[in-house]
Structure formats: C-alpha cells, structure tokens
Amino acid sequence: MAIRALASLLVSACLGSACLIAVACASEPGGHNGHAGSASSAGGSTGVGDSTGVGGGGGQDGQGGGAQGSGSDSYVAGLAKEGTSHVYRFVLVESAPIPKYTGPYTWTVKLTDLDGNATSGASLVAEPRMELHAHGTSPPLFDATPTGEPGTYTLGGMDLFMPGVWTVYLRVMEGDALKDEVAFRFDLEG
C-alpha cells in the first residue's frame, strides 16, 4: 500500500513520467494493476520506444510522453516505436538538428520487423503536421530515400517552420494502401 502512495506521489511530482511509473510498479509484488512493471503499460515512452499509436498524446493512448510539451516525445537518438498495425518498428536513428528549434530537419529512420530484422524495399513517407493549427508543410509529404544500409532511410527537407508541437507521421505504403504508421511528436521553440 505504501508503494502505491509513493507511486501516486511520484506521478504527480513528475507529471506522469513513464520511467518513474515503471520503477514504482516493478517494486510492487505482481506489478501494479497486473502490469508487472512494464513501462509500456504505463502508457509512456522510455526512450527505447515501446509505445504505439498515432492518436492523442501524452501517454494516454500509448503514444508516449515526454518532459516536453503536452503529448510530445523526448528526443533521444534511437527512439523507437511500434506501428499501429503492429507490422513494423520505426527507429528514429538520428535527427539533424535535434528536435528543439524550428527550421529544416533531416531524419535517418530505420525500419524493422517486430523481431528487429531490417526491412528493405519499403515505401516510407513522412507527413509533418501541426494538429493544433490544422496545417502541415509545403510540400505536405516527403518520400524517404534508402541509404544503402539495410532498412535505413533518409527523410530530408522537412521544414518545421513554426513553434509548437509538430507531429511527424511515418507511413509504410504498399501501392496506395497503408501498411503501418507511427507518429513522432516534438514541441519546438521559435
């Protein structure tokens, strides 16, 4: 019972940080609410990316949360998320520059199956959006270019031109059909 009170205090003090929830749940015999201490069951991203989904934010729907703005991810090289269709794992290998300020971005993304095997030959597309303002970028879509390393792609020229939360949807397409997608959210300063 004391662990639950401590967990509630930690959640309140840290605004729902997933890593603290995982530590608190792991301390309880059998986990908390049957979750066995899993950070993904707490609804947040630990930086190694065990969250999924593209809707909502802030960890409420498993999209991951972060110390940045509401519903945004905390950038760390190698941030990984499973797609909503549970077909692929999307790894943000690198962002140049790191997501903090407005401006043009180039991302290196690795696409794997759920077992971690690199997936080559995929059609990967990015769509940056500012959901709060109901707009995206121009052009609205960016096609990924294979780097030559298996399963690794480059997305360049994404001009995230305005301060606020940007959601960059990454989609794997088969022809015109969506095969899997994920969303990375970053709160940028001006």
Are 39 and 18 in contact, with CB atoms under 8 Å apart? yes
Residues 65 and 6 in one domain: no
Confidence class of residue 67 from pLDDT cuts 50, 70 and 90?
very low
Q: Which residues contact 48 (CB under 8 A, 6 or more apart)?
A: 78, 79, 80
Q: Is the confidence at residue 25, as pLDDT, over 60?
A: no
pLDDT digits (tens, 9 = 90+) for 81-128: 999 999 999 999 999 999 999 999 999 999 999 999 999 889 999 999
**Confidence at residue 70, expressed as pLDDT on a 0 to 100 scale:** 61
User: Is residue 190 very low, low, confident or very high in pLDDT (cuts 50, 70, 90)?
Assistant: confident
Q: Give pTM, 2 decimals.
A: 0.66
Answer yes or no: is pLDDT of 75 > 50. yes
Q: Which of 113, 114, 18, 127 is nearest to 74 (CA)?
A: 18
* Domain span including residue 92: 44-188
**Residue 59, pLDDT above cutoff 60:** no
Query: Number of folded domains in the chain?
Result: 2
Residues 55 and 144 in one domain: yes
pLDDT, position 45? 35
3 pLDDT band, cuts 50/70/90, is very low
Mean pLDDT, all residues of the chain:
74
- Separation in Å, CA 110 to CA 26, 81, 97, 141: 30, 11, 17, 18
118 within 8 A of 152, measured Cβ to Cβ: yes
Same domain membership, residue 51 and residue 90: yes
- Same domain, yes or no, for 36 and 117? no
- What is the model's pLDDT at position 71? 84
Candidates 182, 187, 183, 190; CA nearest to 166 is 187
Could you tell me the CATH number of the domain that includes residue 100?
A: 2.60.40.10
Query: End-to-end alpha-carbon separation of the chain, Å?
Result: 45
Classify residue 64 by its DSSP letter.
Answer: -
